């Protein structure tokens, strides 16, 4: 089961340094934190992991609400709540219960949508930081960065472009560089050592 792998990877990071895994280095940090919070108990980890996913799902809903609110005027508040109902159903749907206990897409999705919401709120440095951190956990949040940077270039908003780029690079480097310096071979590894021939 994936949950056991996440626990093992988190413990390995805490005990031996950077393990050889197929996940980006930033993904190891939440697993190590959850294994530490669980007191090294697999059972407690199995309870904490879904709580992390549910918290991330709630952040996704909050970011979607913020984006909907930013896209509409305050005169349309009831329609904003109505439009956000599918997002709420997503976060709390019982059909998603199996995924809550083993998925790991909610954290990078929360960082991606959080980055977009921060960008819409004109917080380019924080938006870049959220996307950069998300990219070290799973590469998909990085897809938004070129489009947001292009938007700032088209607006000729050089100050916000510099803040956005700096936030992106600093958060990605701060999360990845220690791992890259600790064990460059494991950092660049694409597949687990057990799968290599």
Query: Mapping DSSP to helix (H, G, I), strand (E, B) and coil, where does residue 63 land?
Result: helix
Given this model, what pLDDT does residue 120 score?
Answer: 85
Please say if the pLDDT value at position 79 is more than 50: no
How many contiguous H segments (helices) and E segments (strands) does the chain have? 10, 0
Find, among 81, 55, 52, the residue nearest to 69 by Cα: 81
Domain locations in the chain as residue ranges: 2-195
Q: How far is CA 6 from CA 53, 68, 147, in A?
A: 13, 34, 32
- Under a CB-based contact definition with an 8 Å cutoff, are residues 128 and 97 in contact? no
Please give the model's pTM, rounded to 2 decimal places: 0.75
Among the residue ranges 81-85, 111-115, 185-189, the one predicted with the least confidence is: 81-85
How far apart CA 35 and CA 54 sit, in angstroms, is 17
């Amino acid at each position: 089961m994936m949950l056991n792998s996440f626990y093992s990877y988190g413990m390995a990071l805490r005990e031996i340094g950077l393990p050889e895994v197929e996940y980006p280095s930033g993904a190891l940090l939440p697993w190590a934190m959850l294994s530490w919070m669980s007191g090294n108990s697999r059972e407690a980890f199995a309870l904490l992991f879904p709580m992390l996913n549910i918290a991330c799902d709630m952040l996704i809903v909050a970011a979607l609400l913020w984006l909907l609110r930013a896209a509409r005027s305050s005169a349309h508040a009831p329609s904003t709540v109505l439009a956000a109902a599918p997002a709420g159903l997503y976060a709390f749907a019982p059909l998603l219960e199996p995924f809550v206990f083993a998925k790991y897409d909610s954290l990078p999705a929360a960082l991606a949508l959080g980055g977009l919401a921060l960008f819409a709120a004109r917080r380019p440095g924080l938006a870049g930081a959220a996307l950069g951190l998300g990219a070290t956990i799973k590469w998909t949040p990085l897809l938004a960065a070129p489009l947001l940077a292009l938007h700032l270039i088209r607006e000729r908003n050089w100050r916000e472009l510099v803040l956005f780029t700096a936030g992106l690079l600093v958060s990605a480097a701060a999360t990845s560089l220690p791992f890259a310096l600790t064990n460059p071979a494991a950092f660049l590894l694409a597949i687990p050592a057990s799968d290599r021939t």
